[in-house]
Amino acid sequence: MIPITFRQLEVFVRVAEAGSFRAAAEQLSITPVSVSEHVRALEWQLGCTLFERRRGSASPLTHMGERVFRQARSILSSTVDMLATFDRVPIDRLRRRIRIGAHGFIAESFARKVARFIREHPDVDISLERRSYAEIVSGLAQGEIEIGYFLSVDPVPELESFVAWEEPMALFVGAQHPLAERAHVEPEELEKVPFVYLPSRTHLRGEIASMFASLGMKDPPAALTTDDHHLIADHLMEADSFACLFADWNSEAVKQGKLAPLAFARRIPPMQIRCTVRGAYRTDRTVRMMLDAFNQTTPAAHV
């Protein structure tokens, strides 16, 4: 009898993690046929069926497959630890590598959750990179990242995504601004007030412009163009201008009497924090656990 190989166990575990043969093949950079051959060889050696074959859909483990999966993970982990003692393989050979690209604001929002997940799952290697929207789109297309988080008012045509959570937005001025104490501010009143714009190259600039259009506001004159939040806050405190900012993230400045939210006549729509996942990872067990831990809405129905 040909013995069970380390590679057969590796491929089997990856299929179980990825949720399908095709997804595992993409993650391992081998053909689906090769994946199938490794799994069938392992099933023949064990004399049992490990997966429920469902054409064109996910491949869940059978009852016996679940038992073998737990044992295979343990065997692979122990083997890697032993070989690493003699510097024969990298110690992280079996660690799942998940690369996340996120807008700077979003990265800061769940950085602690990422750190906590890493502590609780030492077998997962997470890379969190600050990326612009354009860099997220290209990173997913080129296989540089597995998950992307970006800001948007609505769904975007370039990426299949779902809402991870929403952030309330508000219009802010310096606490001494003439409009700060007004109980009611109409859109027309802001059309001549200088506005702090984001750089034209940024995706969020277009999203805020779309938001303003939905509120019936024409483009106000430019006071400053920057994506530096601290510079924006400092400018508002010193100048007769306003800006559209994340409400919760500026609550402390409001408490300290530095900034004031305008009592705007119309409801400002929240900014959506949208999540997108590479196709090969949408059924991945580890990725789904991460999304449950990071997002404020349940992703199971969307991924």
Percent of the chain residues topping a pLDDT of 90: 55
Lowest mean pLDDT, pick from 100-104, 164-168, 238-242, 294-298:
294-298
Q: What number is the average pLDDT over the span 228-242?
A: 92
Q: Which residues does 84 contact at the CB level (< 8 Å), separation at least 6?
A: 90, 91, 93
Place of tokens 């449950």: 292
From the list 273, 286, 280, the residue with the least C-alpha distance to 168 is: 273
Place of tokens 């306003």: 242
Task: Describe the crossing of helices 6-18 and 63-85 by its angle, rounded to 10 degrees.
Answer: 130
Phi and psi for 66 in degrees, rounded to 5? -60, -40
For 228, the 3-state DSSP assignment is coil
* Tens-place pLDDT, residues 43-92: 999 999 999 887 766 788 999 999 999 898 888 877 766 665 665 555 44
**pLDDT at position 216:** 87
**pLDDT at position 138:** 93
Cα end-to-end distance, the chain, whole Å: 41
Q: How confident is the model at residue 129 (pLDDT cuts 50, 70, 90)?
A: very high
Q: Which domains does the chain have, with CATH numbers?
A: 6-85 (1.10.10.10), 96-165+272-294 (3.40.190.10), 169-269 (3.40.190.290)
Query: Which amino acid does the sequence have at 45?
Result: Q
Radius of gyration of the chain (CA): 25
Q: What's the rounded Cα separation, in Å, for the pair 263 and 117?
A: 39
From the list 203, 194, 156, 174, the residue with the least C-alpha distance to 262 is: 174
Contact between 130 and 107 (Cβ < 8 Å): yes
**pLDDT at position 259:** 96
Percent of the chain residues topping a pLDDT of 70: 91
**pLDDT at position 244:** 95
For the question of whether the overall pTM of this predicted structure is more than 0.85, the answer is: no
Token reading at 281: 């990872």
